């Protein structure tokens, strides 16, 4: 079982850039998120699909009530969850892609990224380009994850990244264009 | 890609530069900034790509819907798709029942929302759901599993639009929205009594049909899918309307529905949901942190105001105060702080609609202070403002209190007392919280000595509270306190306090019909008020209590009029608060009016109105002036013009003292008089009958309003309901035994109606003596304002006499 406060400690290490903490944290949190996210993909109709935000919220609640997480660490938590959610979605795309050649179930993405045909093949491409973005500009990658994978509003994304809405809007305009360009030029 | 790694910042700069440059100049401007042509082109490509929007609907969704629409689900044939919500998709379906096609709504639930025991549970719960038989609740008809194993529910089909769309399309105002909301409350309260909670109340679950009938959808759904759903309540409810405990995944109670009703009310009034700009994650955080909801008026937008056919500032104003308190009480984060039941919520809304004080308790002492001040205006306001002595210019006794509380120390003690008082009023100090103004004041008098030790301060505070009781109409309580302060002041040699207490006690005695006591007390007060050192305010009060109430007995003397002129003039010249100045002028004007010196009275009324307008808390007083102005225009023969002025007075009274108040009853009576004169007795009857129950209750209080039965009997005569008119005349004579001078105009007018009621039943012989009395009195006591009566009395007498001759009786 998770020791109370362990996640909190690890989150702080993670945000300070400690790679060992990252691995450990992923091991701790990812299975829980994955389990909750299972419901996300059980819906056969797109309109019945759960939103990623609800999944992360459930996890957040669980961790808070288990006292594994403290409120003060919410920013780190959401950043981490956004990253993990991206991984959940990509893992799902990979398994769907293997099972169904006809495209499988679409991935729930924010409407602003709807130009990506959110089916497994493109999802895996998007993930590869995001890896590239991570190398170029980790902060922008965080922003994309929070806004487009978790569905936070621009204001909330700005708050989580300690920035202003205007700045987030401005950077996201660029990054959307850049993603599109990269996805369609390779 | 090497290009981006090396030029990442430059690429962004070029992109943002291109964004703000007009399209034709872009290439040129970018080239100036950067020599690398390829990089410039790339920035422009990214800019174009950033405009790419997502497709409206993915093809996958369409194909799913299309295939379903051609099919059947169980015995039901799909007709069309009605909508898609959080936990399912709804279709219009039909099936053959007993040879007839029956239409219903079928909701296919998300597969993860219910487990395999769903159908068993439906059958187990069916008797409860079937017992939910209420005109505003749609009935649950059937349940089953689709071929793919998805659970579905079948409900009564309602052809209507969502509550919010209905209200906005018709630009319904606040009152109409509240009335619709009350019907929603009724339905939910009914379900709660049958032990069914809804847990997903929201505007899209409330339909309104073309004829305005409210229908609640999805009752019982929560009960069916709760038990073995993979989801928690967090995900099942619609977060914007879900209670914090639902979002926190805690045990659910009927209080969840009260919260959701609060969110619906909030949106229906202000046009936006509480915390409408927050994402779901932020809402859950709010729930966990137990954050208070935003204020109702802060959510108002211009568009919302327009949909309510109001200006933005007017809507904000309407949503400040009681409505904000009601919404807030529903939306408190902890269930125990909300309304205990839906009936309590409905009760407060009905009280708001009826212009009465709501019971929801605002959160802070200061808020409550403000509320009392607003609600009780005038004199009460002044008492409370003692607590915040700096705002003394607002009210009546504040001026005097300023003198009594010159030292900061005393003011502080007083302030401390007021704060304690509000706290006590909110607690169970006396067994239950003080819900009404009289209770509150009573508590103040009881607890004052514990907080204020200085006898002079104590007396001043007690007089203040008693004045509030007096203004609030609680005459007996005020009388008790004044009797006590009168004696205490006298023993302490405090002439000012003694005079003021005596003047008020005298006024009260008159009002309670204790005429001799009133005469002696006011005579004492008037004498004392002429002693040196008595303040102008108390001199004015003493003169009014002496003269005005003597004149009210219909014995007009020159001395009384002179005293009232003196009081008005002194009020004008002294530094009295506007409210008190206007009051003195108003008393002079009414006295002149009853002396039929109408031409002098009318400008005084306008002067009083002008002075009242300097004071924000005088709705009742203004309503009184409007009532008099309407009456003046009525007796001048301008009955038609008087109606809107009466209406203004009546609306004002209803808002400030309540529809059941003595003032509202009186104005209803006089307004009915004008309607009768205009030959519109048909409209007067319901107005008078409406006020009758309240009038009956007021009868016991010793303050009778003889105008109401007077006009009612007259209206009955006009519409031919003679028997009822006769019954009222008999009752009046019995109950007014000895109260009126047998030669007074009141007795004359009543006999006139009586004669007509009997003549209407062809009982001319019985009618004759009444007609004779009426003609004699009304001719003898003729004053210009009453001339129509005199003529009528003669007409009636002549008619009865000729009928008697015709029939040879």
pLDDT for residue B542 = 94
Q: Which of A108, A180, A182, A171 is nearest to A142 (CA)?
A: A171
CA angle centred on B112, ends B111 and B116, rounded to 5° = 75
The predicted-structure confidence for A120-134, as pLDDT tens digits, reads as follows 677 788 888 899 998
CB pair distance less than 8 Å for B281 and A156: yes
Q: Check if the beta carbon of residue A72 is closer than 8 Å to that of residue A5.
A: no
pLDDT band at B423 (very low <50, low <70, confident <90, very high): low
Residue B404 scores a pLDDT above 50? no
> What's the rounded mean pLDDT across residues B211-216?
91
For tokens 């209590």, the residue is B545
- The whole-number pLDDT of residue B230 equals 42
Q: How many CB atoms lie within 10 A of CB A142?
A: 19
B642-807 is classed CATH 1.25.40.10: yes
Quote the distance between the C-alpha of residue B179 and its chain's center. Answer: 12
Distance from CA of B273 to the nearest CA of A (A): 16
Of A43, A136, A150, the CB nearest to B8: A136
For residue A43, being part of any structural domain is answered with yes
Contact A173 B50 (CB under 8 A): yes
User: What is the rounded average pLDDT of the residues B244-266?
Assistant: 84
Paired residues of B154 in beta bridges: B106, B142
Residue B236 has a pLDDT of 52
How far is residue B477 CA from its own chain's centroid?
27
DSSP state letters, B241-270:
TS-HHHHTT----HHHHHHHHHHHHHHHHH
Q: What is the pLDDT of residue B653?
A: 81
Q: For the purposes of burial, counting CB atoms within 10 Å of the CB of B522, is it exposed (0-12), middle (13-18) or buried (19 or more)?
A: buried
Q: A-B interface: how many C-beta pairs under 8 angstroms?
A: 123
Active-site residue set of B: 200
Is position A121 within any domain?
yes
Residue B186 scores a pLDDT above 70: yes
Which domain does A13 fall in, by range? 6-185
- How large a percentage of chain B has pLDDT more than 70? 71
The dihedral formed by the CA atoms of B357, B359, B362 and B365, expressed in degrees to the nearest 10: 80
> Å from B242 to nearest chain A CA?
14
**B279, B282, B291: best to mutate for the A interface, most A CBs within 10 A:** B279
A contacts of B88 (beta carbons < 8 Å) = 48
The confidence score (pLDDT) of residue B544 equals 92
| Predicted TM-score (pTM) above 0.80 | no
Backbone angles phi, psi at A5, to 5 degrees: 85, -10
Higher pLDDT, B194 or B180: B180
In sequence order, which ranges of chain A are alpha helices (DSSP H)?
6-15, 19-42, 52-65, 74-99, 120-136, 138-144, 154-160, 165-185
pLDDT for the residue numbered B63: 31
Which of A143-147, A154-158, B368-372, B584-588 holds the top average pLDDT?
B584-588
Residue B680 DSSP code: -
Residue indicated by tokens 């660029």: A174
Q: For residue B724, what pLDDT band results from cuts at 50, 70 and 90?
A: very high
| Whether B5 contacts chain A with CB within 8 A | yes
Reply yes or no on whether the pLDDT at B127 is more than 70. no
Between the ranges B135-144, B681-690, B776-785, where is the mean pLDDT highest?
A: B681-690
- Highest mean pLDDT pick, A88-92, B31-35, B206-210, B555-559: B206-210
* DSSP-derived secondary structure letter, A41: H
pLDDT at B737 over 60: yes
Nearest to B110 among A48, A61, A64 (CB): A48
Give the residue range(s) of CATH 1.25.40.10 domains in chain B: 365-573, 642-807
Q: Up-side HSE of residue B588: CA atoms within 13 Å toward CB? A: 32
3-state secondary structure of A128: helix
Nearest to B230 among A39, A150, A156 (CB): A39
Architecture of the domain defined by B365-573: Alpha Horseshoe (1.25)
Where do we find the tokens 């179930």?
A: A105
Residues of chain B numbered 140-169 and touching chain A (CB < 8 Å): 148
Q: How does residue B429 score in pLDDT terms, banded at 50, 70 and 90?
A: very low
pLDDT of residue B209 exceeding 60: yes
With contact defined as beta carbons under 8 Å apart, do A132 and A121 qualify? no
In sequence order, what DSSP letters do the residues of B342-389 get, joined into one string? HHHHHHHHHHHHTTPPP-PPPSSHHHHHHHHHHHHHHHHHHHHHTTTG
* Contact state of A174 with B42 under an 8 Å Cβ cutoff: no
Longest dimension (CA), chain B: 126
Q: Kindly list the distances between the CA atom of residue B490 and the CA atoms of A39, A157, B346, B534, B691, in Å, as whole numbers in the listed order.
A: 83, 73, 50, 14, 44
* CATH number 1.10.510.10 given to B65-353: yes
Q: Is B50 left (phi over 0), alpha (psi -120 to 50) or beta?
A: alpha
Chain B residues in contact with A122 (beta carbon < 8 A):
none
Task: For residue A44, tell me if it sits in a domain.
Answer: yes
How high does pLDDT run on average in chain B?
76
The Cα B774–Cα B69 span in angstroms is 83
DSSP A111: G
Domain assignment present for A1: no
Nearest Cα residue to B750 out of B719, B784, B778: B778
Note the ipTM here.
0.79
Give me the pLDDT at residue B799, please.
Answer: 82
User: B281 vs A60: CB contact, 8 Å cut-off?
Assistant: yes
Is residue A25 within 8 Å of residue A3, measured between CB atoms?
no
User: Largest Cα–Cα distance of chain A, in whole Å?
Assistant: 48
* Residue B73 β-bridge partners: B76
Q: What is the pLDDT of residues B676-696, one digit of tens each?
A: 888 898 999 999 998 888 888
Q: Per-residue pLDDT averaged across A133-138, rounded?
A: 90
Numbered ranges of CATH 1.10.510.10 in chain B? 65-353
- Cβ pair B54:A39 closer than 8 A: no
More confident residue, A4 or B164: B164
pLDDT in tens, B781-806: 555 444 555 567 777 888 888 888 88
Residue A96 lies in a domain: yes
Average pLDDT of the segment spanning B539-549: 90
Specify the range with the lowest mean pLDDT, choosing from A9-18, A38-47, B186-195. A38-47
Residues in chain B with CB shorter than 8 Å from the CB of A65 are 249
- Name the most confidently modeled range: B21-30, B459-468, B696-705, B716-725: B716-725
Q: Characterize the bridge pairing of strands B140-145 and B100-109.
A: unpaired
pLDDT exceeds cutoff 90 at B738: no
Residue of A nearest to B50 (CA): A177
- Across the interface, of B1, B53, B249, the residue whose CB is closest to A61 is B249
Judge whether A149 lies within some domain.
Answer: yes
pLDDT confidence of residue B55: 44
Confidence of residue B475 (pLDDT cuts 50, 70, 90): confident
pLDDT tens digits, one per residue of B278-291? 665 666 666 666 67
Nearest by CB: A57 against B50, B87, B284: B284
Position B147 scores a pLDDT of 76
| Residues with Cβ within 8 Å of residue B65, at least 6 apart in sequence | B81
pLDDT of residue B412: 44
Q: Which residues, numbered 93 to 112 in chain B, qualify as contacts with chain A under a Cβ-Cβ cut-off of 8 Å?
A: 110-112
Tokens of B514: 């204790």
Question: In total, how many domains does chain A have?
Answer: 1
């Amino acid at each position: 079982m998770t020791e109370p406060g362990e996640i909190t400690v690890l989150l702080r290490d993670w945000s300070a850039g400690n790679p060992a903490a990252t691995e450990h944290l992923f091991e701790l949190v990812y299975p829980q998120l994955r389990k909750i996210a299972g419901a996300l993909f059980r819906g056969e109709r797109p309109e019945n699909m759960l939103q990623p935000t609800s999944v992360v919220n459930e996890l957040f609640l669980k961790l808070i009530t288990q006292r594994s997480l403290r409120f003060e660490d919410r920013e780190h938590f959401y950043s981490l969850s956004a990253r993990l959610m991206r991984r959940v979605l990509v893992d799902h795309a990979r398994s769907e892609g293997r099972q169904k050649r006809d495209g499988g179930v679409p991935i729930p993405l924010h409407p602003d990224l709807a130009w990506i045909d959110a089916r497994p093949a493109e999802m895996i491409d998007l993930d590869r380009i995001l890896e590239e973005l991570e190398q170029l500009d980790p902060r922008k990658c965080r922003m994309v994850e929070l806004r487009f994978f978790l569905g936070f509003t621009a204001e909330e994304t700005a708050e989580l990244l300690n920035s202003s809405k205007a700045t987030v809007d401005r950077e996201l305009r660029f990054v959307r264009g850049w993603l599109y360009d990269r996805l369609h030029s390779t | 890609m090497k290009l981006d790694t090396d030029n990442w910042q430059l690429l962004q700069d070029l992109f943002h530069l291109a964004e703000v440059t007009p399209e034709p100049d872009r290439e040129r401007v970018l080239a100036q900034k950067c020599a690398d042509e390829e990089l410039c082109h790339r920035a422009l490509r990214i800019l174009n790509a950033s405009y790419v929007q997502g497709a409206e609907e993915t093809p996958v969704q369409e194909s799913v819907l299309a295939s379903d629409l051609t099919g059947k689900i169980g015995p039901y044939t799909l007709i069309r798709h009605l909508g898609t919500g959080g936990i399912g998709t709804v279709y219009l379906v039909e099936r053959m029942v007993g040879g007839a096609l029956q239409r219903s709504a079928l909701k296919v639930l998300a597969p993860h929302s219910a487990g395999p025991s769903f159908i068993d549970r439906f059958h187990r719960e069916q008797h409860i759901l079937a017992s939910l038989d209420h005109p505003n609740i749609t009935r649950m008809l059937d349940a089953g599993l689709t071929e793919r194993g998805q659970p579905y529910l079948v409900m009564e089909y309602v052809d209507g639009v969502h509550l919010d769309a209905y209200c906005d399309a018709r630009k319904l105002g606040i009152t109409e929205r509240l009335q619709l909301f009350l019907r929603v409350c009724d339905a939910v309260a009914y379900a709660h009594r049958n032990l069914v909670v809804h847990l997903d109340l929201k505007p899209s679950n409330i339909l309104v049909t073309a004829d305005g009938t409210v229908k609640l959808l999805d009752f019982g759904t929560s009960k069916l899918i709760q038990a073995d759903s993979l989801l928690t309540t967090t995900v099942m409810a619609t977060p914007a309307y879900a209670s914090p405990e639902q979002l926190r995944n805690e045990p659910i109670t009927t209080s969840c529905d009260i919260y959701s009703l609060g969110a619906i009310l909030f949106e229906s009034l202000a046009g936006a949901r509480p915390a409408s700009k927050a994402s779901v994650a932020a809402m859950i955080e709010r729930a966990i942190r137990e954050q208070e909801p935003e204020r109702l008026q802060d959510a108002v937008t211009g568009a919302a105001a327009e949909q309510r056919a109001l200006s933005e500032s007017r809507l904000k104003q309407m949503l400040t105060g009681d409505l904000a308190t009601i919404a807030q009480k529903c939306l408190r984060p902890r269930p125990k702080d909300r309304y205990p039941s839906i009936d309590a919520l409905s009760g407060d809304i009905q009280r708001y609609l009826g212009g009465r004080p709501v019971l929801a308790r605002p959160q802070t002492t200061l808020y409550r202070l403000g509320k009392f001040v607003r609600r009780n205006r005038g004199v009460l306001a002044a008492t409370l403002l003692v607590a915040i002595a700096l705002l003394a210019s607002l009210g009546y006794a504040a001026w005097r209190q300023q003198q009594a509380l010159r030292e900061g120390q005393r003011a502080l003690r007083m302030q401390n007392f007021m704060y304690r008082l509000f706290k006590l009023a909110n607690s169970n100090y006396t067994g239950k919280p003080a819900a009404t103004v009289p209770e509150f004041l009573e508590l103040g008098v009881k607890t004052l000595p514990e907080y204020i030790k200085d006898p002079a301060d104590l007396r001043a505070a007690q007089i203040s509270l008693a004045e509030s009781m007096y203004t609030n109409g609680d005459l007996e309580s005020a009388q008790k306190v004044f009797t006590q302060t009168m004696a205490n002041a006298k023993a302490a040699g405090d002439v000012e306090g003694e005079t003021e207490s005596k003047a008020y006690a005298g006024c009260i005695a008159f009002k309670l019909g204790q005429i001799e006591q009133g005469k002696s007390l006011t005579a004492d007060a008037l004498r004392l008020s002429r002693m040196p050192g008595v303040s102008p305010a108390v001199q004015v009060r003493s003169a009014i209590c002496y003269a005005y109430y003597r004149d009210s007995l219909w014995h007009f003397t020159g001395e009384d009029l002179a005293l009232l002129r003196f009081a008005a003039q002194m009020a004008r010249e002294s530094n009295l608060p506007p409210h008190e100045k206007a009051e003195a002028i108003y008393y002079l004007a009414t006295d002149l009016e009853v002396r039929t010196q109408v031409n002098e009275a009318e400008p005084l009324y306008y002067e009083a109105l002008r002075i009242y307008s300097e004071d924000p808390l005088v709705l009742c007083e203004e309503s009184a002036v409007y009532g008099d102005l309407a009456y003046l225009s009525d007796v001048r023969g301008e009955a038609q013009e008087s109606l809107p002025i009466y209406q203004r007075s009546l609306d004002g009274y209803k808002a400030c003292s309540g529809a059941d108040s003595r003032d509202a009853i009186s104005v209803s009576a006089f307004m009915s008089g004008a309607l009768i004169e205009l030959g519109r007795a048909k409209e007067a009857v319901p107005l008078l009958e409406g006020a009758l129950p309240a009038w009956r209750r007021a009868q016991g209080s010793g303050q009778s309003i003889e105008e109401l039965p007077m006009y009612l009997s007259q209206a009955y005569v006009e519409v031919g309901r003679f028997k009822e008119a006769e019954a009222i005349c008999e009752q009046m004579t019995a109950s007014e035994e000895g109260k009126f001078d047998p030669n007074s105009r009141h007795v004359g007018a009543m006999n006139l109606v009586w004669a007509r009621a009997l003549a209407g039943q062809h009982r001319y012989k019985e009618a004759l003596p009444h007609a004779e009395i009426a003609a004699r009195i009304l001719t003898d006591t003729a004053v210009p304002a009453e001339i129509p009566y005199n003529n009528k009395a003669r007409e009636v007498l002549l008619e009865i006499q000729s009928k008697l001759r015709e029939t040879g009786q």
